[in-house]
Amino acid sequence: MSGDPTDNRIIWPEGKKAAAIISVIFDDGLDALAQAPELAHRSKSHSVWLYGAQRGAERLCKTFEQSGIGTSWFVPGVVAEKHRSLLGAVSAAGHDLESRGWAFERHDALRHPTSLELLKRSRAAIEAVSGKAVTGFRLPIGNWPERFDTTLKDAGYLWSASLNGDDIPYRHPSALLEIPVHLELEDRPYFQFSFAPAFPKGQGRIASYDSVLANWIAEFDAYRKFGACFVLQLRPEMTGTPGRIFLVEALIKYILSFEDVWVTTAAEVAAWHLAYNARALEPTHPLNVFAAYRREHSVIR
C-alpha cells in the first residue's frame, strides 16, 4: 500500500491499534451569542443553550461515570469562572478541563499581544477551577491565524484540537501537537435547532438519533480499522438530554467493547505522541501544502 505514510508504523501504545477520545464542548451559549448577539435579550431562545449548564453537563457526567471513562472538556475561561462549582465537579470526577480561549474571541482579529494574554488568562482561570494543568486548546471561532501554533506554545499549551487535514495527530512547526477533528463527529451539525434566530439557518429537520448513532459507529469502525484517532465532540445542551443520552450510552458501550482501542483523553494522546512519535511532517502533508500555497500567492502578489 504505497502512498499511505501511516502504513507499518506503530503510532499507538502497545496492544492498541487506534485511539478514541470523547470530548465535550461546553460554550454555555457563547457560541450562539457570537453569531446572534440579540440572544442576550431573548431569554426563551437563549435558554436553548443554557440547558447545558442546568442539566446536560451533569447528565453527560453520570453516563461517563457509569462507563468509567475520562473525557476532555473544552471551556472558555469566562465559562470556567461562571460555572466554577459545576466544572470543579466535572474535574473532580476525573475529566480534563481544557481551553477554548477566554470569551469566544476571534484570535484572527486580535493583535498578537492581546491574543497571547487571553490565552494565558484562560489557562490560569481554568487551572484555578480544576487544580490541574491545562495543556490543550480548541479554537472557538474565526480562522487559525498565521503562526498561531507558536502563539499557543508561548502561552503554555502543548496541543490543539482545532484543524482537520488528517485523522491521526500531527506536529505543527513549533512542535505543538494537533489532534485533528471532523465535523461529522460533532453532535451540533446533527442536532442544533433554534426557531429564532434560526439555527441552522435553513432549519433542516433534526436528525434521527438512530441515524446519528449508526453514522458514528460506522466512523468508529473505520477509525479502528485504519488505526486512526477518533474524536467525538458532544455538547451538554445538545446531547446531554434525556432522549439523546441513549445514543451516548450506546456509542460508548460499543467503543468500550474493543480492547484494542485506547479510550483516553486528548491530553493523554497528546502526551504520548509528543513523547514517542517524533515523525516529522511529510512534505505533502496539508500543513506544508498550505504553506506552499501561501508562498505561491505572495510570489504572484
Partner 1 sequence: MAQSSFSSGKPIWPGGRQSAVALAFDLDGPTGDAMLDGSLLDNLRYFSEGAYGPWRALPRLLDLLAEYDLKATFFVPTWVVQHWTGRCERIRKDGHELAYHGHRHEVFMDLSSQKQREIMATCREVFETRLGVTPVGFRTPSGDWSAETASLLTEFGVRYSSSMRGDDRPYFHRQPDGSLGLVEIPARSDIDDYTALAYFENPDFPAGLDRISDYRLVEKNWRYEFQGYHREGLCWTTIFHPKVVAKPGRLAILEGLFRDIRSHENVWIAHCAEIADWWIAKNKESES
- Binding residues (CB under 8 A) for partner 1: these are 1-4, 108, 139, 143-144, 162-167, 180, 182-184, 189-190, 200-208, 210-211, 214-216, 218-223, 225-226, 228, 284-287, 289-290, 292-294, 297
Nearer residue to partner 1 within complex by CB, 94 or 209: 209
Centre a 10 Å sphere on the Cβ of residue 287 and count the other Cβ atoms it contains.
18
Nearer residue to partner 1 within complex by CB, 29 or 96: 29
Residue 157 DSSP SS3:
coil
**In the complex, least distance from residue 119 CB atom to partner 1, rounded to whole angstroms:** 17
CA dihedral 57, 107, 288, 220 (to 10 degrees): 10
Read off φ and ψ for residue 231, nearest 5 degrees: -125, 100
Nearer residue to partner 1 within complex by CB, 6 or 67: 6
DSSP secondary structure code for residue 40 in this structure? G
Nearer residue to partner 1 within complex by CB, 1 or 275: 1
Nearer residue to partner 1 within complex by CB, 82 or 294: 294
H-run or E-run covering 62 = helix 57-67
At 24, list the grid cell.
465535550
- Do the Cβ atoms of 216 and 232 come closer than 8 Å? yes
Report cis status (omega within 30 of 0) of the bond before 37: no
**In the complex, least distance from residue 67 CB atom to partner 1, rounded to whole angstroms:** 22
Exposure on the CB side of residue 99, measured as CA atoms within 13 A:
29
H-run or E-run covering 87 = helix 84-92
Identify the CA nearest to 47 among candidates 28, 63, 73, 66: 28
Nearer residue to partner 1 within complex by CB, 2 or 85: 2
C-alpha–C-alpha distance, residues 46 and 54, integer Å? 13
**In the complex, least distance from residue 18 CB atom to partner 1, rounded to whole angstroms:** 10
**In the complex, least distance from residue 219 CB atom to partner 1, rounded to whole angstroms:** 3
Tell me the helices (H) and strands (E) count for the chain, helix number first. Answer: 13, 9
At 2, list the grid cell.
504505497
**In the complex, least distance from residue 199 CB atom to partner 1, rounded to whole angstroms:** 8
**In the complex, least distance from residue 55 CB atom to partner 1, rounded to whole angstroms:** 24
Nearer residue to partner 1 within complex by CB, 47 or 203: 203
**In the complex, least distance from residue 285 CB atom to partner 1, rounded to whole angstroms:** 7
